[in-house]
Every structure is written in C-alpha cells, then in structure tokens.
Amino acid sequence: MPNSDPYRHHPELRGKIKLASESFFRELDLDLIDTKAAEAGRPSGWRTPCEDREAGRREWLDGRWGDDLWVFGYGSLMWDPAMEFAEVRRGRTEEYSRSFCLWDVGGRGSLEQPGLMLAIDEGTDCEGLAFRIEADKLDHETFVLFRREMIASAYRPVWLMLETEHGTVEALSFAANHAHERIVPNIPASDQARMIACAEGLLGSNFDYLADTHQHLDLLGIDDAYIVDIYSRAKALRL
C-alpha cells in the first residue's frame, strides 16, 4: 500500500510547516487588504483585478488540469504554503537564485520604511521545497496560491525543472518580473540588510521573514550563502 504521509521524505518538517487551515493566506480577505492599503496611503489600483488574475491562472494551467502539480517554495511558502499538499520534497534548480529585490510597502514594509521580499531571479542555484498538489484539488489550491503570489504583477509564474532525491520534477514557481516597478535588482547587500532590519508591515516585521527563511534553510541543511550573509548583517544592525 503506497505511503500517503506528506512528510514521508522529510519527517523533520512535521510540525514545522503551518497547516493550510491555520494560514492567514488560506482565506485571504482582499477587501481587508484594500482597506489596510488605503489607510497606509497606497494609491488605488496597486493590485491586479481579480478577474485578470483568474484569467491568467487558467491560461497558465491550460492543459494541466488532469495532472498533479508541483509548486516550488523558496521563501515563506516553505513554512506557510497555505495549500493542502500530498507530498513535500527538497528540490533544487540551477536556473535561479534567491534575491531580496521585491520592494515592499505593505506586507513587510511601509511607505515610510520600505522592506524587501524575496523573489527568485536568474542565477545558478536555489534549493527549497517542492509541494505536490493532487489533481482533484488543483483548482482551489492554485486559486489560493495565485491570489497570494499574483496579488500584484511583481512576480511572474515560471516552470522549473527541479532535482530532488526522488527524481526530477517540473514545478510551478514565481520569479521576479523585471517589467514591474517594485522589482529593484542590484541593491547593495548593506542596504538590503538595513531595510530588512527596520521595516514592518501588515504581515509583521521584515526581519522575522528573513529569520524564518534562514531557520528553515538551516533545518533542511541548505547552505545559501546569500541568505546567511544578509541575515548576519541584518541581525548585527538590530543588536
């Protein structure tokens, strides 16, 4: 009988990944987000209209509705995917690297004190977690995923080939969209650390986001020199 335990490959992650039912992003209230954004002084029209986002999701997944889907998480999806998944594996791509290049004035930052969120951008190495979504749950789980990741168009969906200990899989992920004004590449590491050390927004502090990323990579035994460097710099600024 096949093993149906989602954590069969990584029992060390049991209890370290938030249940979908407990995630803020599972039932994300966009009216609340709009209200908070307006109170914070953000201009209207900052996010993608729901009908456009949904049309994009369906177009992107066209021809794949009958298959299981792998989703690659490299930041907060690693510990808070907000999706119901049947399997999780450690996965690696050689096409992209992590980058704090997403200028954030809402979730982990503000207009007065912007923060930075992770994207993946063209690079040489990124290890994270791949989550398998079963075909019969694909519609709702990707609705939840796209509402979160594509709330604005700073990300672009991409297909990645991931190497895992149990074979190569093709996975959906979200990379930096350089056509969007909030993607700001090549920020000096010292400035990245300074912004992250101080910023805070609706979802909490920017430093906590970095610390959670650092912690979960450490838990998996993943050595990302970039994250280690930014974490060390930001932590020093908070002492």
Within a domain: residue 186? yes
141 lies in which domain range? 11-238
First to last CA, the chain: 53
Within a domain: residue 4? no
Within a domain: residue 2? no
What is the full per-residue pLDDT of the chain (239 aa) written as tens digits?
A: 567 999 999 999 999 999 999 999 999 999 999 998 898 888 888 999 999 999 999 999 999 999 999 999 999 999 999 999 999 999 999 999 999 999 999 999 999 999 999 999 999 999 999 999 999 999 999 999 999 999 999 999 999 999 999 999 999 999 999 999 999 999 999 999 999 999 999 999 999 999 999 999 999 999 999 999 999 999 999 97
Total tally of structural domains belonging to the chain: 1
pLDDT at 2: 64
Within a domain: residue 164? yes
C-alpha 32/C-alpha 60 separation (Å) is 27
E strands present in 68-190: 69-73, 87-93, 96-104, 115-122, 126-133, 155-164, 167-176
Within a domain: residue 24? yes
Within a domain: residue 182? yes
Catalytic residue among 22, 122, 149, 170: 149
Within a domain: residue 6? no
Burial group, residue 222, by CB count within 10 angstroms (0-12, 13-18, 19+): middle
Q: Is 149 a catalytic residue?
A: yes
C-alpha 191/C-alpha 169 separation (Å) is 36
CATH number for position 165: 3.10.490.10
From 20, 23, 39, select the one nearest 31 (Cα to Cα). 39
